[in-house]
Structure 1
Amino acid sequence: MEKNNVKKNIIWFIENFGDRVAKRVEQTPLTLSFVASIAVHETGYIWSNIRKSVSTEEEFLELCVGDKLGWDAGRSYFPAKKKTLLDAPNGPKMYKIARDVLKKAAAVNPKTFGSYFHDSDNILFGYGIFQYDLLFYNEGDSQYFLEKGWMDFDRCLEKAIEEMLLAAEFLGYDRDSNEKISNYDLALIGAIYNGGSKDYDPLRGLKQIRWIKWAQKYYGELIYQYMNIADAVIGGQNGNKRYLVNARSGLRLRAGPSVKFDVLKLVPFGTSLALLGYGGSGNAWAQVDLENDGVADGFVFSEFLREA
């Protein structure tokens, strides 16, 4: 997704859902920028056509679906096969719902879903603006799918927030704290939210779990980039502050918030940059934007920055 489209989608999401999201995350360590970034990545690529085709929020949310793996893609979790779904409680009803929704989605976004719908008996596996996986149908949440709960934004949001908070707890954060997490660690939470914690490696930073082929980046890296754009849109903490490099020999710009990460370049003395957030041990590393476009370029040691 091009950066301009990302920004447009973030603006649209915040205008339509921002107040409800901000209220829900107020007493959590999550942020509006993070939740908006997850939504934009998961389904933002299909929003434009949906918005042109429907007139209500419920109709829009109904068509926020995805994950077109197909029955022969080797899916290892429920429902791995069509028969598995049909044999589940109310399985035939769920299968019909899934096919009907895919048919509607294909009519609105034919380039994305058209051929997939017409290919035998495919269904989609992700439902809602944040993509709640159909595997949860078999884990005590069948009513949510049978009732098409993803058409209700508050229900959809609650599912996503719970998954996000579980990922935050996995990384050692208190889900009941309202002390906000840095964008960098939120991006790690996003990676776990999307791909699970099984393969998480703390030494790999954002370069892990799920590779996004079209972007040639990992999921966490994209969420990290989107959050910085969202922060600039919202005008959040540190979003508009500019600083100068105050080290005579310059500052090393690193790929992550510690000396363990690769040096990307040397930022010369006196360079003006935007401060996007903090990360690393003691939040000693500043996440910076060198090109004033809301996108993070890397980290520098914050002690050698001064306000412009």
Structure 2
Amino acid sequence: MPTADDIRWFKEQFSAEIETALTATPFDLDMIVAIACQETGYIWSILRKKHLPLDRVVALCVGDTIDYKGPHQGRQAFPRNKDALLAKPNGQAMFEIARKALEDMAAYIPGYQGAVANPKKFCRGFGVFQRDLQFFKDDPDYFLERRYESFANTLAHCLAELRRGLKKLGFESRTSLTDLEFAMVAIAYNTGGYNPSRGLQQGHFDGQKYYGELIVEYVTQSRSVAAAARLAPGRYVVIASGGLKLRGGPGTNFNSEKTLPAGSELNVVGIDNQDPSWVRVDLEGDGLLDGYVFAGFLAPAGIHPGEGVPEPD
């Protein structure tokens, strides 16, 4: 189970990109973090400590090696086993990709080494939010081209599935959701539907708790973890390699006034009271507020901008 430190790391890496993608949805950052924790948190919480590049951590977020074991036992969806996958067009190429993904991931995640020992085993879940290989029949290029290795792609498919969950529950017009309502949507994300009579006890069962129960726990835990450390007022430099957007308020829902190039220096004059991941900045040194920027893409003045990371559009 990801710890508070793991969740803090995840937010520091991906919160800006997630927040941007959540425009015009009823979801919030902590809800999406909860899905990531439940789907692959047991993987990225380990990988983040291996000193790997961030894109490599994302690429290694694969899983699900369970084969068909009979009616209502093991995997029921396509592909039930290696033979079922090989029977499809490009099945051999897909097996090789899925097998290699398993081997690469298992080099860091000991729990999968037993699966690697069986040459017929391969992964069915791909990306941080685990797009299932059953979609290979309809969208083979997504898997064959390994698009799941991009965080933007795996996030986009996560949100598309969550929107389908909204529709199934009649929540399409909602502008916000309670955490319990989101858990209902997440159950539909995991199982394809929601049975009101079972409440949160639906979805994958790990031997102790159901998917729905764990989602609520992860949302609660994520809400207790700040997205980024609070910055003290002072002089900072932009480390977003593609530049950092200056916004009219503390959030991606506010318009971008301009983009500050990497290496730009500015004064942080305060932290937003509601969301400490956003700070108020003064660009001219005249003591006047010029706007807000996301704190995760600032570093104390003197940090070389080449050490930065790209800010999402």
CA RMSD, 1 decimal: 1.8
TM-score (norm 2): 0.68
**Equivalences for residues 139-178 of structure 1 within 5 A:** 140-174=138-172, 177=174
Contact 1:9 1:40 in 2 (8 A): no
Per the alignment, residue 197 of structure 2 pairs with: 203
SS in 2 for 1:217: coil
Alignment identity in percent?
Answer: 35
Which structure has greater helix proportion? 1
1:72-120 alpha-carbon deviations (Å, 9 max, x no partner): 46422211231221121211111111111111111111x2111111113
Per the alignment, residue 77 of structure 1 pairs with: 77
Per the alignment, residue 266 of structure 1 pairs with: none
Of 185, 188, 193 in structure 2, the residue corresponding to residue 189 of structure 1 is 185
Compared with structure 1, are the counterparts of its residues 26 and 143 closer, same or farther at alpha carbon in structure 2 (3 Å cutoff)? same
- 1:58 and 2:55 aligned: yes
Contact 2:67 2:81 in 1 (8 A): no
- 1:42 and 2:34 aligned: no
1:1-43 alpha-carbon deviations (Å, 9 max, x no partner): 2xxx432222111110011111111210111111100101111
Whichever residue aligns with residue 91 of structure 2, its letter is: G
Distance 1:63 1:76 in 2: 25
Gaps of 5+ in 2: 228-313
Per the alignment, residue 6 of structure 1 pairs with: 3
Whichever residue aligns with residue 205 of structure 1, its letter is: G
| Count of residue pairs brought into register by the alignment | 224
Whichever residue aligns with residue 217 of structure 1, its letter is: K
Distance 1:224 1:183 in 2: 7
1:133-189 alpha-carbon deviations (Å, 9 max, x no partner): 000001x211010011111111110011000111111111126x5x21110100111
SS in 2 for 1:211: coil
SS in 1 for 2:48: helix
- 1:17 and 2:14 aligned: yes
TM-score (norm 1): 0.69
Of 228, 252, 258 in structure 1, the residue corresponding to residue 220 of structure 2 is 228
Contact 1:6 1:40 in 2 (8 A): no
Distance 1:31 1:202 in 2: 23
**Equivalences for residues 246-265 of structure 1 within 5 A:** none
Moved more, 74-83 or 165-174: 74-83
1:66 to partner: Cα distance: 1.0
1:71 to partner: Cα distance: 5.2
Distance 2:114 2:81 in 1: 20
SS in 2 for 1:45: helix
Contact 2:68 2:76 in 1 (8 A): no
